[in-house]
Amino acid sequence: MPPSIDHEAGVQTKDTLFFQEHTLSGRLFLPISTNQNQKLPLIIYIHGGAFCVQTPFSPTYYGHLASLVKNGNVLVVVIPYRKAPEHPLPIAYDDACDAVKWVASHVNRDGPETWINQHADFEKMFLVGDSAGANITHNVGIRFGLDEGLLGVKIAGMVLVHPFFGKSDDQRSKLLEFLFPTLEGTSDPRINPVGAGVDLRKLGFLSKILVCVAGADQKYKDRGVSYYEAVKNSGWGGVVEIVETEGEDHGFHLFNPYCDRAKRLTEQIVSFINQQS
């Protein structure tokens, strides 16, 4: 979808180049009602698509993100990453980390993107992702928690929607072998952060985490619940919450963003982001 001013949805969008070297561009969503220099919570969004499909400009994401922006009164930056198999994992993790750093480089209000300079509240910055994008979001969080960090910027929280995680007893995955040829089996912590014994206390720089699961998501619901329980029992000092949408399947809110349950999920995410820590 091209960028636009959508008066019916109450949002405006624009595209911006992140990295000339790889011609990687992302998309920004801003409420039309935003006043000049008004500061809004900043959501850095990482899209899903099994690491190999979808883009920041996909119609699949427009309805949900437009609702998130309008209802939450937030600025959303959908960041780009190169996709497998042409660019196999872990390239997506590296690109996402670089993209988050690019957004954070606007903290002094002198970055290349005007909307971020004018409207991003860097005291309320959140990482949000769905499915494979939620997997990337977790890995970005772990990486920043280990040693990379973000100078001058604090990530307030993280939202993982229907996260794409593996389990130790998974059968050999031909898809993952194709997308991630250097994967260290089903115990690889980048795919299986629970069974691999990852020290989730490394997420301690975050103050809160929300995990969203879908009740009819037979493959990934239990993995999201296990992740929530692992974080809760890890000794991490923040607040972790979980919400379940009963009767719905993986990614339902993207394919039917205006149904009642999708609206409810959006409200839950908005409430989590806007509540006082």
Which residues participate in catalysis according to the annotation? 131, 217, 250
How many C-beta neighbours within 10 Å does residue 225 have? Answer: 15
List 243's β-bridge partners, or say none: 212
What is the rounded distance in angstroms from the CA atom of residue 238 to the CA atom of residue 207? 5
Alpha-carbon gap, residue 12 to 75, rounded angstroms: 10
Does an H or E element contain 136, and which?
A: helix 132-143
Taking CA atoms, 191 is separated from 67, 95, 185, 194, in Å, by 30, 17, 9, 9
The number of C-alpha atoms within 13 Å of 61 and in the hemisphere containing its C-beta is 29
Rounded to 10 deg, the angle between the 59-72 and 260-274 helix axes is: 50
Identify the residue whose tokens are 């937030």.
74
Distance set, CA 238 to CA 61, 139, 171, 232 (Å): 29, 18, 34, 9
Return the beta strands (E) in 179-245 as ranges: 208-214, 239-245
Backbone torsions φ then ψ of 254, nearest 5 degrees: -85, -35
